[in-house]
Amino acid sequence: MKKNRERFCNREREFVYKFKVGSQCLELRVPLRFPVQENASHLHGRLMLLHSLPCFIEKDLKEALTQFIEEESLRDYDRDAEASLEAVKSGEVDLHQLASTWAKAYAETTLEHARPEEPSWDEDFADVYHDLIHSPASETLLNLEHNYFVSISELIGERDVELKKLRERQGIEMEKVMQELGKSLTDQDVNSLAAQHFESQQDLENKWSNELKQSTAIQKQEYQEWVIKLHQDLKNPNNSSLSEEIKVQPSQFRESVEAIGRIYEEQRKLEESFTIHLGAQLKTMHNLRLLRADMLDFCKHKRNHRSGVKLHRLQTALSLYSTSLCGLVLLVDNRINSYSGIKRDFATVCQECTDFHFPRIEEQLEVVQQVVLYARTQRRSKLKESLDSGNQNGGNDDKTKNAERNYLNVLPGEFYITRHSNLSEIHVAFHLCVDDHVKSGNITARDPAIMGLRNILKVCCTHDITTISIPLLLVHDMSEGPHFKFRILCNRGPKPPGQEPATQQVSVKGRASLPDL
């Protein structure tokens, strides 16, 4: 049947239209390839314009063209149907296979015959968790999550202590070898010892990484099973052990104060709040809060389970499956990993508490890498097609080289998203790629970083992210930069005749020149 269909498709037929202009009899012949992909009205307009046809035949030409296309299309359909029936009669097509194919297509395209979608485990667990977190069992859930957090924190503390001891021991060994360098040892001995030290560190880090991964997997499975069981028990009002199951016992909190250096001390924060209205005709109200803090402070959990900290965590848990999510913008480089800079610090915070709802940060980054690789492959193929079609120039050559050089990296202004349920005050993290250009004072409205922020805000508006934290100056750390000067006009009494108003020069460490105030 495919052969017959191909024979009738892409077939050219000639449309003939005769009309009179005065005493002259004219004829219009137009070749058309069937099936006609273009709209008949558009094709009619093109014919009138290209051939400068008189306006009095416009209506009649349109009717004749539409009728010709419909009749020829029906003839093609009839021929295709007759050829298909002949193929079935002659035995070229298996009748049972044809019937099953029709039944499958009908079932997939007709809603009443389609199979219902099977609910996934993630969706069921999300519904159960949403019900429990809005019930009297919410405090029990938070206490259990906090106990898991303390357990993982203690494990990470043990890892850090063991790694520190190993580095100190290796440092002492390296110092002794360096003292003997040139006497009884050579550079090859030093390099061999350095390689041994590196391999030992890698083995120890892999050992602890596997142990942490196994512990978080066990915690996640235990937590989800316990949540499902608790939800089932709540449906049974005659369960006598339910009150004991959700009873809160403060003595169960494991406040391990021995882990020195892992207790986050709350610092006094400087902040100011504003309410603004944006829009020309339909104004919308927005609340802005200017806050001096580290971006990761919105992610870190506190070991000391005080009431204020607990309220923050409760609010985040209540809004996890809601239409009021919280987001955070992190400024990262073009490599999709968690090996350096704020990406490493963010990954460390994510690893301190098990995520019971979403994949681990490493797994999410692997998915992002695969998506970026696929997108880059598609863009590269389209770019090659445009170059092969004759549109090649110097700018396209630069774009091709840039695409090949950054084949697995994101570009400035692009961002990727990770989801989290184990952070203190946020649910979504936007990883915005920026370069060193943001540290200059020449940022315009079309800068990739600004365009990326605009796209992030669009995503927030379309995906119910109502609160987002953004680094105000597009930097995470304030550093020594160029000093920009601006003038403040100060009125100091009446101005003497012929004298300029008093001005005060103020040196400000900033990233953009400020106008006169």
At 346-400, the pLDDT tens digits run: 998 988 888 999 999 999 999 999 998 888 888 888 877 777 765 555 455 555 5
Name the percent of the chain lying above pLDDT 70: 76
Mean pLDDT calculated for residue range 335-348: 86
The full length of the chain comes to 517
Contact residues for 375 (Cβ-Cβ < 8 A; gap 6+): none
- Tell me the pLDDT tens digit for each residue of 436-473: 887 777 778 888 889 999 999 999 999 989 999 998 88
pLDDT at 177: 85
Q: Which 3 state secondary structure label does DSSP give 373?
A: helix
Task: Examine the pLDDT at 86 and tell me if it is beyond 70.
Answer: yes
Confidence at residue 251, expressed as pLDDT on a 0 to 100 scale: 37
Range 111-120 average pLDDT: 68
pLDDT at residue number 36: 84
Q: CA end-to-end span of the chain, whole Å? A: 79
pLDDT at 487 over 90: no
Q: Identify the residue with better confidence: 287 or 109.
A: 287
Please give the average per-residue pLDDT across 228-254, as a whole number: 62
Residue 516: pLDDT above 80?
Answer: no
- Residue 326's pLDDT is 92
- Res. 13: pLDDT tops 50: yes
* The pLDDT of residue 266 is above 70: no
DSSP string, 61-90: HHHHHHHHHHHHHHHHHHHHHHHHHHHHHH
What is the structure's pLDDT at 284?
85
Of 137, 355, 320, residue with least CA distance to 226: 137
The band of 260, judged by pLDDT with boundaries at 50, 70 and 90, is very low
